[in-house]
Structure 1
Amino acid sequence: MKPKKLTLHPLALALMGGLSFAAGAAQTSAAPVLNDDDVITVTAPVLSPLEVVTSPKAPRQPVPASDASDYLKTIPGFSQIRNGGSNGDPVFRGMFGSRLRMLTNDSEMLGACPARMDAPASYISPESYDLLTLTKGPETVLWGPGNSAGTVRFDREPPQFAKGDAKGDASLLAASNDRFDENADVSFGNEKGYVRLSGNHSQAGDYKDGDGQRVASQWEKWNTDMAIGWTPDADTLLELTAGQGDGNASYAGRGMDGSQFKRESLGLRFKKDNIGETFDSLDISAWYNYANHIMDNYSLRSPGTMTSATSDTMDMSAKMDKQVDRRTVGGRMMGTWLWSDFQLQSGLDTQLNTHRSNEEDENEGWQEDARFHDYGAFGELTWTATDLTKMIGGARLDKVEVDNATGVGDDSRQDTLPAGFLRVEHNLATVPAMYYVGLGYTERFPDYWELFSPTYGPDGTTDVFDHLKPEKTTQLDAGAQYKGKRVSGWVSAYLGRINDYILFEYDPDDSHVSQAQNVDATIMGGEMGASYQLSEQWKTDFTLNYSWGENSDENQPLPQTPPLEARAGLTWEKGDWTSTGLLRMVSPQHRVAINEGNVVGKDFDSSAGFAIVSANAAYKINPHLKLSSGVDNLLDKTYSEHLNLAGNSSFGYSTNTPINEPGRTFWAKMNLTF
């Protein structure tokens, strides 16, 4: 099959015309955001140690993100399984995949590739959203089942208009390695409704590492989205959303590249606030997301040979391709009730997703191989016990049904999954500080990649579907925060036990052969940060994050655990000028489990530590126009991340060679608000 040549969608081209407007005010979100939009930040803002809320539109170093995973890696606790220039897979606190739920406007976009070449994060363009909210650990039940590591939500806020008006923002980026980005987000309307149009296009060529060696990493993406809202009064919203996108990406660590990442999205939402004295609000949404993905070994590379771990050379000159898709449909209904010191948020949600493969070689066309259906009920109660103390508790129950059309194992299986948590938050009366302690429990059903990608299951047979058990996570979360006039700091820590943790073991002689099994695991770690206002112009900040995991059955490390990482930033700000320097320090990682990992990556060696220096400067020309520029990896250091796919031999890599990161990278950006 011939992949379609990627071109910028006409709607995106039209949206770029928003650069010609330079009047009005920038849209701001209703939620509190700690970022200063005029400062390029280097560490994550924190409203509480448990929850991070920020604006993806705010500038951030390193070079602006190409997808959600790229953006999340700038937040303490996140890392990324790297395989080239774009579409990496996010990891939080050493936990990967569906342990970390990622939502956009309350909906979930699931990729289709059995090896997560199109990870859910690859379909998200961060700069087109207004808010990013991270809830750490199993400390909420409002956003679906099994979120043991955390929940990430990208949201667009409905624009507000007092009278007929238009507002929006746009940006242009140019960087090394032929990187060019265009983004535009335009809204117009009045007090009765609005129309919001957003579009983006992003592309980059192969980058060079610190040694000047080319790394296959080119990519190109575009997205367009539209929202039409009706607001008959200040408390009512009816919104229809629609969007589409596509792209391609070359992978230095895979045997094939992604030649199509087609996305289609639809959504409908109704929200009513201030209904009555007790029943306060109702929020109902329904959505549809579709991913159509093509991978091949010829559109972005030349087919060649591949060397296995046993040094056997295989002829890969034949053209190969595969097409898969996933349809995900869901809905959610939540009400909020208020009684004096209590708030109850309760409702129902459901999701149905269907995975198919297009078996053209067998002349069978599209064949469905799996269908997942989840029905959930949840409730979360907040008690304001005193002016200084809150208690929050929640519970949910999910019924999961999975149909198996592969012909291996039973035709279906089902399970009932409970989850719950209880947390205390207390503010100190004498100092500007707070702390929290929470205990959470959640069960996570194996996802598509865990049930259908492994070669073997826990019993050593090919019947993974019947024998892989759900994970059961019990986790204690605790944290504290202090915010003074010149000094602020926070810490967030966790200790957990995971029964039936899903672990992949790979054949050392053939990395395409894997076995999924259940083991018991212990995890712990945390994140901390501090900032100090040195003077009126100078500020410094620091973050540290650490993850530790052990396979309790074997008394050995859990694989794919990121090493200790620290970041230190120094910012100068005066008038319309700002400048920031960033030092990122990563320690070696020797706690590895060779040939063990997850569906994407495995531990194939320990890793060396490194330190990277980056810097940027920005100038605000007027209230509407800002220019910024920076350099990442200023010293042009050659280094690789610990979480890394081994380079593919078709690009000249030897077995178990990690992929190096980009060398010195320059970038410049223009932001316009109106």
Structure 2
Amino acid sequence: MPSFRTYSFLFLSATSLALGQTIPSATEDHENIVKLDSYVVTAGAGDKTAFDLAQGTSILSGDELRRRTATTLGETLSDTPGVNSTYYGPGASRPIIRGLGGDRIRVLQDGVGALDASNISPDHNTAIEPLFADRIEVLRGPSTLLYGSSAVGGVVNVIDNRIPTHALGEPFTGAIETRAFGAGDERTTIASVAAGTDGFAVRVNGLSQRSGDVDIPGVARIDPAAPANQPVGTLPNSAIDTESLSVGAGWFGRAGHLGLAVSRYVTDYGVPVDEPISISMRQSRLDLNGELTQPFGIFTGLRGRFGLGDYTHSEISDHTTVNTTFKNRAWEGRTELPFAFSATTSGTIGVQASRSDFSAVGDEVVTPAYVNNNEALFALNEWKYTAFTFQLGGRVEHQNVQLGDVDPTLPPVPGFAAQSGEQKRFTGTSGSTGLVFYPAKDWSLGLSLAYTERLPTAQELFSNGPHGGTNAWEIGNSGLGLEKSTGVDLSLRKRAGFVTGSLSVFVNRFQNYIFEQELPLAAIPAADNPESLTPYQFTAKDADFRGAEADVTFHLAEGKDWHLHLNLMADTVRAEQTTDHQPLPRIPPLRYGTGLHYENARWTLGAEVRRAAEQDRVAPGETTTPGYTLLSANISYRLPLGRDECEFFLRGANLTDTEARVHTSFLKDFSPLPGRGITAGARLTF
């Protein structure tokens, strides 16, 4: 049974961490093998590492980030413990954390929301380019309330440093990377250059990426209605064409820093559904970022961030006809005042506000036009002692959603009663507490408890219409109220020695958990639904989520300039309705895997195996998803060029050409993961 395998793996991982205190390594002094945690920017109060946080945290940066970076943010993070993806073909994929996705995950770009429409529907990609990222921070669980009640599942913060915040150290620096081939015959070029003085710097990032329809093992569709003559070996309508450019400038000195950036993101990608649909997405964005580091009174500084976005995307059928155009003109700003009463007592207070002016015009206006205004006040306080750290936080958030015109010709649907100009106001109060205990040197035990009130979105309240991008007729429920959750998270970490890593277990109980439940086809009159799209209506029921994650590394050997380590990972989540224990839809299956990695001054070699078990705990209307095993490998060589360096790399994905379908995807029966792909590239750093 999957549960037995899960508990077995967690027991093995816990035992490995414990034995890491006594098992000697192949080196003379295994205590010198230290996994150094970098500071977590998203954590909020003060300089914190993942080792010092109560909630589960993962950081991707450096070589590991470059090795895992994919065309979408969801696939970049999909191998991270506790993180899955919505995989909607190669062009669209958003993170899912512990079985929670959509509006329950806050996706940030340098601490500010993405200002796009990716949380509205899984066929909408995030307007964030992961190939520009310097680091990606993933904070799991509901205690991330500094960033909104919608962060009940967690926060993903993509830090790309478009705005310079400190001196470069050199008058001119940068990197250029090119990569090619892979399952979609990819052609990608990325460049990032910066120039500056001791008090000023400018950074320019640019990207061009093109790929064709991806290779797949076998056929694309496996549903009963699949045509007999469908293509074999290729996923139709899965090509991608993306360009992105950003220019940022920053001024900095002893008192702090101030900067701004302008960026443009353009992408066209196919959605591999029954009828060929492609999405043409555009976003122009302005960001401001400032920090005062000089203390005044009890406050140790002042931080502020602001983002303004003009987003549009069109859904196009047969590559020629624009069916629907979505627009979202949005802004978000936040100001934080960190404070310190003493050496042991510190924290931060802040305000956050945002506005989204959303509209859709065309044949598939799933959600009427609306304006969403959101304001929040939050605070986090921390008491730090020798053996433990205690945290307490709270947030009050108000939301006002005002509808535009509602189409009077829409068919009547039970639960949908939206009126033109209607307003919905909600106020939610959330709180969290956390304890980090240090039982021994290089060990920490984190416990967090959070209560969250999530405010329903306009899509959950007011949707009513066909959506070809998801092959569904989506129906809102204007009677929805606050979604309330209580979550407990326990994490054990070890940061030095022969064995390092973390283990986490969590429980999250929801009252009025909002999800899309499949309805009978007859719920929509046949005359209004000639394409027989499956109706889904947002409904609210009590639900329980529980699960565990493990990420353990064995530092097998090391020398002066080389090391060899073995990694083990696993995650599992079980989600069901509280009353009848009926499984919730699109919940990730058990996953586990291992990887062996070697690195010296010139060479890096690695191989990984990931197993996703069969998902047979399915909701009504769902089908089971077979398990699969994926093998990947990578090799790179770094060539010194004086003070510069050129890295040549090869990366192989799905080397056994296995058919793999993602249970968390609406398109699992239409779109398998790509088949075997070998990517070659070079990166020049100067």
Relative to the length of structure 1, the TM-score reads 0.82
Deviation string 1:373-427 (CA, Å, 9 cap, x unpaired) is 111000000111x222100110010111110124352510101100110010011
Partners of 1:387 and 1:376 in 2: CA distance: 33
Q: Which residue number in structure 2 is paired with residue 477 of structure 1?
A: 489
Whole-angstrom CA distance in 1 between matches of 2:475 and 2:273: 28
SS at match of 1:70: helix
SS at match of 2:489: strand
CA contact (8 A) 2:165 2:259 kept: no
The structural deviation recorded for 1:274 is 2.5
Partner of 2:480: 468
For 1:56 and 1:253, how far apart are their aligned partners in 2? 34
Give secondary structure in 1 for the equivalent of 2:286. strand
1:90 pairs with 2:108: no
CA contact (8 A) 2:477 2:537 kept: no
**Corresponding residue number in structure 1 for 2:624:** 606
**d(CA) in 2 for partners of 1:621, 1:226:** 29
Q: Any conservation in 1 of the 2:647–2:682 contact (CA below 8 Å)?
A: yes
Kept after mapping to 1: 8 A contact 2:572/2:589: yes
Q: Deviations over 1:298-341 (max 9, x none)?
A: 218xxxxxxxxxxxxxxxxxx55111111111211110111221
Match of residue 435 from structure 1:
445
Of 646, 649, 655, which aligns to 1:628? 649
SS class of match (1:327) = strand
Measured in 1, the distance between the counterparts of 2:96 and 2:392 equals 26
Aligned to 2:251: 230
CA RMSD in angstroms comes to 2.7
Q: Which residue of 2 aligns with 1:327?
A: 329
**Residues 326/506 of structure 1: CA separation in 2 closer, same or farther (3 Å cut):** same
> 1:420-459 residue pairs with structure 2 within 5 A?
420-429=431-440, 431-454=441-464
The residue correspondences of 1:17-416 to structure 2 (distance < 5 A) are 32=38, 50-56=55-61, 58-60=63-65, 64-112=69-117, 116=121, 119=124, 122-157=126-161, 158-161=164-167, 165-176=171-182, 177-211=184-218, 213-216=233-236, 217-231=238-252, 233-253=253-273, 255-276=275-296, 278-299=298-319, 319=321, 321-340=323-342, 341-359=344-362, 369-384=369-384, 386-407=385-406, 408-410=417-419, 411-416=422-427
What secondary structure sits across from 1:490 in the alignment?
A: strand
Residue ranges of structure 2 left out of the alignment (5+ in a row): 1-35, 41-49, 219-231, 407-416, 467-473, 522-531
With over 3 angstroms needed to count, the CA separation of the structure-2 counterparts of 1:613 and 1:112, relative to structure 1, is: closer
Deviations 1:443-494 (A, max 9, x none): 11112332233569xxxxx994530222111100111012342111311111
User: Is the CA contact (8 Å cut-off) linking 2:193 and 2:204 kept in structure 1?
Assistant: yes
- Give the counterpart letter for 1:541 in structure 2: N
Q: Note the residue ranges of structure 1 that are not aligned, 5 or more in a row.
A: 1-29, 35-44, 301-318, 457-461, 596-603, 648-656
Matched residue type, 1:632: A
Aligned partner of 2:224 in structure 1 is: none
Partner Cα separation in structure 1 for residue 323 and residue 282 of structure 2: 16
State yes or no: 1:502 paired with 2:511.
Answer: no
Q: Which amino acid aligns with 2:339?
A: W
C-alpha spacing 1:159/1:380, structure 2 compared with 1 (3 Å) = closer
Letter in 1 for 2:664: L
Superposition pairs of residues 505-584 of structure 1, within 5 angstroms: 505-509=517-521, 510-536=532-558, 537-584=563-610
Contact 1:334 / 1:345 at 8 angstroms: preserved in 2?
A: yes
Q: CA deviation at 1:48?
A: 5.6
- How many angstroms apart in 2 are the aligned matches of 1:421 and 1:373? 24
Deviations 1:186-220 (A, max 9, x none): 11111221111111121211112123521021111
Question: Deviation per CA, 1:612-647, whole angstroms, max 9, x where unpaired?
Answer: 111111111115211110211111122222223347
Taking structure 2 as the reference length, the TM-score comes to: 0.81
Q: State the identity as a percent.
A: 21
What is the alpha-carbon distance in structure 1 between the residues aligned to residue 170 and residue 625 of structure 2?
58
Alignment of 1:592 with 2:603, yes or no, is no
In 2, Cα distance between the equivalents of 1:583 and 1:63? 14
Q: 2: CA distance between counterparts of 1:202 and 1:64?
A: 13
Kept in 1, the 8 Å contact 2:141–2:154? The answer is: yes
Q: Secondary structure at the match of 2:152?
A: coil
Q: Is the 8 A contact 1:46 1:53 kept in 2?
A: no
- Deviation of the 1:594 alpha carbon: 2.8
Counterpart-to-counterpart distance in 1, 2:399 and 2:248: 32
Task: Tell me: CA distance 1:471–1:255, structure 2 relative to 1, closer, same or farther (3 Å).
Answer: farther
Of 462-471 and 564-573, the range deviating more from structure 2: 462-471
